[in-house]
Amino acid sequence: MSEPLRDPLERPIFEKGSPGRTGLDGFGPEAGAEIPIDSSLLRDDLEKFPEVSEPELLRHYLRLSQLNFSAATNFYPLGSCTMKYNPVVNEQIAAEPGFAGIHPYAPEETVQGALRLVVELERWLAEICGLDAVSLQPAAGAQGELAGMKIIRAYHMGRGQRPTKVMIPESAHGTNPASAALSGYDAVPVPCDERGLLSAAAVREFVDEDVAALMVTNPNTLGLFEADIEEIAATVHEAGGLIYMDGANLNALMGVAKPGHMGADVLQFNLHKTFSTPHGGGGPGSGPVAVRADLEQYLPAPRLIEEGGKLRWQRQGPESIGRVRSFYGNFGIAVRAYAYILACGGDGLTETTRGAVLAANYIRARLEGAYHLPFEARSMHEVVFTDKLQNEHGVKTLDIAKRLLDHGFHSPTIYFPLVVSGALMIEPTESETLETLDAFAEAMLDIAREARTDPDTLRSAPQATPMARLDETRAARHPVLTWQK
């Protein structure tokens, strides 16, 4: 059995220090001198505020940082999120003064290199997804979705049509129906079949001339490839609708298959997933939107054009959906994605995809039998298990997730997709070594055995973290800032 982490007992900073202690040596009240800090930054009205020395303060925050679970410090197998490793060289390149220091209003002739990067990245992304034109402007995957749906709306309006519905599989990302609703459409849920897939027959039951589009993720959020995608796309196209493909799971396709070849008309990328930018804590992100050629006129404005070997911004025509983000999106994230793609090359991107799919299926093979698999179809870049076998002993998905913290691993995504009861959604990515995958598998197998032999320990996990299990809803609203064993 793998050894759980030792208890890293750490008292809150509110229980440290003593009155009069300061982190600015020689500037305390006893020194008779004023503290050389802007007085607007100082407060003396905070009851029981900790008064600590500089070493205490430094150690406090350093220890807190060491307690964080992150892709840089731990195996972080969140399904649907693609928390892959971000190479340090990407950060070094993005920090170059010519990228990090340019002003968004700098004259075009002084930033030709940055503009060239934008144009080349757009072309590379178009090639990767098999579509014709890309805008880097959306700042996140959800905003790319919204831009894509607004493009679809503009397309239909330009043809004098006013469809009102968008079909969305029940296994979709939660942002899909939100993006449809924000674009003025009614979301129509389409059920998955017993395979966990969207069938062409199911789509035919819902499609009609009032359908603007089908929003589909492929591979879907169950980590399964939509085998009927070409027939589904043909069915929607025959009725006059478009195919919006959510690109959140592109890490299972790039270099191997192209959504445009499957019938996708619009797609958003998640540069912060597939192309290795860290995105914990709510950002940063980038969600470029790609379209087929006859939809290019609707892309966000402005667009870059080349004249006489020079690049310049050009306003779009009245068909454009307009700006969706200030300037040209999160440029620093585009730089990181550019560096990653350039380093990998076409062959490297293909190997990335193969490695991600192999890693997920390796985890699947190691855990199959110990955990319930709800679907038989071969997994792509992520695998979904459930807590069905552990539930027989009163152990739930949340208990498994909390116990993983004791083994030094962040939990996979839990209770999603919603169509799977007690879901455990594991996405190892291509970044991890065989030794890491084995260590994670052994921890999961230990937990499965523990569910049978000592379920009470699981239900009270974690055991080795500074705080015991919290009521997460109450903790977010009413934090306790003093030590409670």
The answer to whether position 298 is within a domain reads yes
Do 99 and 62 have their domain in common?
no
Residue ending a domain, among 344, 366, 390, is: 344
Averaged over 11-25, what is the pLDDT? 80
| pLDDT of 2 over the 70 cut | no
pLDDT at 5: 45
- Sorting pLDDT into bands at 50, 70 and 90, what band is 46? confident
pLDDT score, position 194: 94
pLDDT at residue 448 greater than cutoff 90: yes
Residue 384 identity (one-letter amino acid): V
**pLDDT 10s digits, 156-202:** 999 999 999 999 999 888 899 999 999 999 999 999 999 999 999 99
**Average pLDDT over the chain, rounded to an integer:** 91
What pLDDT score was predicted for residue 469? Answer: 86
- CA–CA distances in Å: residue 13 to residues 49, 50, 331, 483: 9, 7, 38, 10
- pLDDT value of residue 283: 65
Which of 28-37, 89-98, 332-341 shows the lowest per-residue confidence on average (mean pLDDT)? 28-37
Residues 118 and 162 both lie in one domain: yes
Cβ-based neighbours of 49, under 8 Å, separated by 6 or more:
43
Would you tell me the crossing angle of helices 141-158 and 175-182 to the nearest 10 degrees? 40
Whether residue 73 lies inside any domain: the answer is no
Which of 344, 370, 387 marks a domain boundary? 344
- How far is Cα 399 from Cα 415, in angstroms, rounded to an integer? 12
> What is the pLDDT at residue 30?
54
**Do the beta carbons of residue 113 and residue 98 sit within 8 Å?**
yes
- Residue 14: predicted pLDDT: 82
261 and 192 inside one domain? yes
Residue 9 scores a pLDDT above 60: no
195 domain residue, yes or no: yes
Q: What is the mean pLDDT of residues 19-26?
A: 74
Give me the CATH number covering residue 142.
Answer: 3.40.640.10
CA dihedral 172, 177, 130, 123 (to 10 degrees): -120
Domain boundary among 321, 344, 367: 344
Q: Do residues 276 and 222 share a domain?
A: yes
Assign 465 a pLDDT band (cuts: 50, 70, 90): confident
- Looking at the domain assignment, is residue 449 inside a domain? yes
Please say if the pLDDT value at position 466 is more than 90: no
Say if residue 16's pLDDT is above 70. yes
Task: pLDDT band for 128, please (50, 70, 90 cuts).
Answer: very high
Per the structure, the count of domains in the chain is: 3
Looking at the structure, do residues 31 and 109 belong to the same domain, yes or no? no
Same domain, yes or no: 325 and 366: no
In a shared domain, residues 289 and 371: no
Say if residue 365 is in the same domain as residue 456.
Answer: yes
| pLDDT at site 378 | 94
**Domain-located, residue 2:** no
pLDDT-based confidence at 256, cuts 50/70/90? Answer: very high
If pLDDT is split at 50, 70 and 90, which confidence band does 8 have? very low
pLDDT, one tens digit per residue, over 299-350 is: 999 999 999 999 999 988 899 999 999 888 899 999 999 999 999 999 999 9
Do 197 and 296 lie in one domain? The reply is yes
**Crossing angle of the two packed helices 331-367 and 434-453, in degrees rounded to 10:** 50
> Picking from 48-62, 227-241, 376-390, 412-426, which range would have the lowest pLDDT averaged per residue?
48-62
The rounded distance, in Å, linking the Cα atoms of 327 and 272 is 19
Residue 204 above 90 pLDDT? yes
Q: What is the dihedral of CA 73, 254, 277, 107, to 10 degrees?
A: 160
Domain that holds residue 220: 88-344
pLDDT at residue 484, rounded to an integer = 54
Q: Looking at per-residue confidence, does 60 or 422 come out higher?
A: 422
342-351, 391-400, 456-465: which has the minimum mean pLDDT? 456-465
The answer to whether residue 126 sits within a structural domain is yes
Whether residue 146 has pLDDT greater than 50? yes
**pLDDT score recorded for residue 10:** 62
Specify the 3-state DSSP secondary structure of 168: strand
Residues 355 and 325 in one domain: no
Question: Which amino acid is located at 35 in the chain?
Answer: I
20 and 149 in one domain? no
Same domain for 47 and 140, yes or no, is no
Q: How far is CA 252 from CA 272, 373, 379, in A?
A: 15, 20, 10
Count the Cβ atoms, other than its own, within 10 Å of residue 361: 18
C-alpha to C-alpha distance for 105 and 103, rounded to whole angstroms? 5
The reply to whether 291 falls in a domain is yes
How do residues 210-219 score in pLDDT, each as one tens digit?
Answer: 999 999 999 9
Q: Could you tell me the pTM of the whole model?
A: 0.89
Predicted confidence band of residue 35 (pLDDT cuts 50, 70, 90): low
Q: Is residue 78 part of a domain?
A: no
- What pLDDT score was predicted for residue 315? 86
Using omega within 30 degrees of 0 as the cis cutoff, is the peptide bond preceding 163 cis? no
CATH number at residue 355: 3.90.1150.10
pLDDT above 50 for 6: no
Mean pLDDT computed over 84-90: 89
